[in-house]
Structure 1
Amino acid sequence: MHRLRDQDALVPQPRGSLPKACGVVVFTITMSCFGFLGPENGGWLIMAVLALTLGPLLHGIGLLAEEMLFHSNTRYRGKTVLKHMLPACGLWGRTLLTAALAGLLQYLVGHPLSNEGQYWKLLGLCSVTYTLLRSLGVLGPSDVEVSEICEGKKMNVAHGLAWSFYLGYLQLVLPHLEDSIEKFRATHQSSTSFRGRGSHRLLILIPLNSNIANKLDSEDDNIRFYDNLPELEIDRAGVRRRVYKHSVYRVQDNNGQAHDCVAEYATPLVTLYNMSHESSAGFGEPERRHQVLLFFRTLQDILDQSLECRNRYKLILIHDDHGEDPHFLSKTILRHLKQQEKEEFCLTPPPHQEVRDPFRGAGVALPSAPPMNPEPLSREPTLMYSLEEPRPLKEAVENSHY
């Protein structure tokens, strides 16, 4: 059985900067070794930088020709070349600046080759060879680089589905969840529904295989449909009084005790599952699993920043290696409900401490005074709160006597 911390270990984290650090270390070590061979290594370094930057510039010129001839109106709507096409083709910014700086330094320092013809031949061959290999896809970005670019620029399918699920559903219904539960309890006074604080949250189930059923009770015999929360009606996208509602399920543990909760699957997972079964979508099972994990992480990040949804939800990642356990779903839900109950803090009164009277047994007569309840010498800090309604501030009253 997976523990709750395995959920965080399974979700991929954003990629770091380790490749950049490795590149800097390798470059530093190499230049340190070559630095003992002679002072002409600076010219070799400048020539290498110039050759490596001219290649991407030549490749960008080819991309620019394609964009100007065939996609100027459809993709850029006739916008200016300098403002949109050049940056899109890589002919702007760091690459152009690095090439210009390397060319200037090469002109000032000079090339390290004795024959100038060999210098231009080597520079030209490196540039055009890079352009050819890049156009053929040999030097194209790897799958890891493409994934990093898509995640960094929020271009994955999971990012769009997570934002759609939040803006189109969770942001609308979660602020009204507590009121709906209170109304439900008022109409079901004979039951003991929603006894714990953890059951007052919406449990959003996210299975890794994205294969979700229409009914929770059809997957686990320990889960029973109880009733629906009161419907929420919102005017949305031209639809008057669009109805949103949640279902209340009663989950039974091993001791036969029932626990009520509001649970449902994340509906965007249906889209991911159907896309993986459409050949035209180009979306296989490994890509689907990766997108499910990105969907979980993105949705968690969105909800963590949402003040309207705070403490009103719980994301539950459902593993797909449960070994055909028929009650795996109910056990997972109960484990998260118990975990939320353990996270609560109980405000208990401080332990009673006896206070010693310094005058007791000394034979000293004390003057009559109203009884006092001395404070203990030391005690643990506690949080003091009042259950009374807030009152307005009293006006100042003059009570001076002359």
Structure 2
Amino acid sequence: MAALLLYLTRHSYLHKGQSWELIVVVPVVYTLFISLGVLGPSEVEVSSICEERKMNVAHGLAWSFYVGYLQLVLPSLGKSIDSFRASHRNSFWGQGPQKLLILIPLNTNISHKLEDEDNYIQFYDSLPNSQLDRAGIQGRVYKHSVYRVQDENGKAHDCAVEYATPLLTLYRMSQDRRAGFGESERRQQVLLFYRTLQDILEQSQECRNRYRLILLKDEHQDDPHFLSKTILKHLEQQNKEEFCVNPAAPQQETKNPVQMGDWHNPEEISREPTLMISLERPQPLRGPVEDTDIHYRAT
């Protein structure tokens, strides 16, 4: 671009000794073209960059996890939890919104049994199985495990929690030289997987309010109860998200009646709103009357 501008303006600039203005003109024009997308990378270049950085791996795993698993099991999660609570009277399941807790560790350190990582977590039972005909498999079984998590005071809490299974694929790929990415690239893949899956689930009507993604960082790996504390923290936040919308009784609403001057009427506050229709004929509109002695009464 500098050479082209120099060639086109050589008669005007070089004659007057103003060729230094190209130093200002070229960056300004280049920045303008970049902002307008004229000099942006082509589709082939974008595909090449994504392939070199292995960005398509996490993106594909997130979509596969959603389409092949979460979209199938999350819509029926509420019924499974209700059936479980009805058959387990001794369960310590909270009263808040019941969701599937999905653990996503940055280091892809996944244990097949959560009790192996934290002795405050114990396997309790499994939710009722869901059976679907999938890809030629008749009655394919999908199941969720219920774990009992104990806090520091010894109080138990039940919840459905599991790891995101595609992270096992990322871990195996990082151990294979043919995959072409190491530990640092694997962490980037986990973050990309988390963001992509979060964006997919937030736009899914079937899975809304039925899941909770928990990103596990590495700062507290020396704490033997880090996993149980993290799960309990999210359960506490989950219970705070529950809002009771049950209408209160009229007697309860009239305890603090609204007062305006010397007038108050509790019955007007507790009464259900009704549609009032007047049977009188409409009256013609009257113009403004300048008379301060007239008192208007409410009809």
Instruction: After TM superposition, list the pairs within 5 Å mapping 1:1-400 onto structure 2.
Output: 48=2, 50=4, 106=8, 150=50, 155-188=55-88, 190-198=89-97, 200-347=98-245, 349=248, 350=253, 352-354=255-257, 374-376=267-269
- Cα displacement (A) at 1:191: 1.2
- Cα displacement (A) at 1:351: 6.8
- Cα displacement (A) at 1:270: 0.4
Following the alignment from structure 2 to structure 1, what is the Cα–Cα distance between the partners of residues 196 and 57? 11
1:258–1:374: structure 2 CA closer, same or farther, 3 Å change rule?
same
- 2:17 maps to what in 1? none
1:112–1:172: structure 2 CA closer, same or farther, 3 Å change rule?
same
Look up the equivalent residue of 1:229 and give its one-letter code.
L
Instruction: Please list the CA deviations of residues 229-268 of structure 1 after superposition, one character each: whole Å capped at 9, or x if unmatched.
Output: 1111111111111110000000011111111000000000
Look up the equivalent residue of 1:161 and give its one-letter code.
L
Look up the equivalent residue of 1:352 and give its one-letter code.
K
- Cα displacement (A) at 1:344: 2.5
TM-score of the two chains, using structure 1 as the length reference: 0.52
Contact 2:258–2:266, Cα closer than 8 Å, also in 1? no
Look up the equivalent residue of 1:195 and give its one-letter code.
G
- Cα displacement (A) at 1:49: 6.7
Following the alignment from structure 1 to structure 2, what is the Cα–Cα distance between the partners of residues 345 and 150? 43
Larger Rg: 1
1:271–1:111: structure 2 CA closer, same or farther, 3 Å change rule?
farther
1:354–1:284: structure 2 CA closer, same or farther, 3 Å change rule?
closer
Following the alignment from structure 1 to structure 2, what is the Cα–Cα distance between the partners of residues 186 and 304? 30
Q: Structure 2 regions of 5+ residues with no counterpart?
A: 15-40, 274-299
Contact 1:227–1:247, Cα closer than 8 Å, also in 2? yes
Instruction: Please list the CA deviations of residues 27-75 of structure 1 after superposition, one character each: whole Å capped at 9, or x if unmatched.
Output: xxxxxxxxxxxxxxxxxxxx62748xxxxxxxxxxxxxxxxxxxxxxxx
Contact 1:205–1:264, Cα closer than 8 Å, also in 2? yes
Contact 2:101–2:162, Cα closer than 8 Å, also in 1? yes
- Cα displacement (A) at 1:354: 4.6
Residue identity (%): 62
Look up the equivalent residue of 2:267 and give its one-letter code.
P
Instruction: Please list the CA deviations of residues 309-351 of structure 1 after superposition, one character each: whole Å capped at 9, or x if unmatched.
Output: 0000000001112041111000000000001112223447457
Following the alignment from structure 1 to structure 2, what is the Cα–Cα distance between the partners of residues 352 and 147? 67
Following the alignment from structure 2 to structure 1, what is the Cα–Cα distance between the partners of residues 76 and 3? 60
Following the alignment from structure 2 to structure 1, what is the Cα–Cα distance between the partners of residues 75 and 137? 20
Following the alignment from structure 2 to structure 1, what is the Cα–Cα distance between the partners of residues 61 and 176? 18
- Cα displacement (A) at 1:186: 2.1
TM-score of the two chains, using structure 2 as the length reference: 0.69
Contact 1:229–1:245, Cα closer than 8 Å, also in 2? yes
Following the alignment from structure 1 to structure 2, what is the Cα–Cα distance between the partners of residues 111 and 237? 72
Following the alignment from structure 1 to structure 2, what is the Cα–Cα distance between the partners of residues 163 and 173? 15
Please give the secondary structure, in 2, of the residue aligned with 1:315.
strand
Following the alignment from structure 1 to structure 2, what is the Cα–Cα distance between the partners of residues 148 and 333? 39
Following the alignment from structure 2 to structure 1, what is the Cα–Cα distance between the partners of residues 121 and 171? 24
- Cα displacement (A) at 1:373: 5.5
Following the alignment from structure 1 to structure 2, what is the Cα–Cα distance between the partners of residues 183 and 167? 25
Contact 2:167–2:190, Cα closer than 8 Å, also in 1? yes
Following the alignment from structure 1 to structure 2, what is the Cα–Cα distance between the partners of residues 354 and 113? 83
Contact 1:185–1:193, Cα closer than 8 Å, also in 2? no
1:272–1:351: structure 2 CA closer, same or farther, 3 Å change rule?
farther
- Cα displacement (A) at 1:196: 2.4
Please give the secondary structure, in 2, of the residue aligned with 1:197.
coil
Look up the equivalent residue of 2:118 and give its one-letter code.
D
Following the alignment from structure 1 to structure 2, what is the Cα–Cα distance between the partners of residues 172 and 305? 15
Contact 2:125–2:145, Cα closer than 8 Å, also in 1? yes
Please give the secondary structure, in 1, of the residue aligned with 2:81.
helix
1:273–1:305: structure 2 CA closer, same or farther, 3 Å change rule?
same
Higher RCO, Cα 8 Å, sep 6+: 2
1:174–1:112: structure 2 CA closer, same or farther, 3 Å change rule?
same
Please give the secondary structure, in 2, of the residue aligned with 1:375.
helix
Contact 2:94–2:239, Cα closer than 8 Å, also in 1? no
How many residues are matched? 236
1:355–1:261: structure 2 CA closer, same or farther, 3 Å change rule?
closer
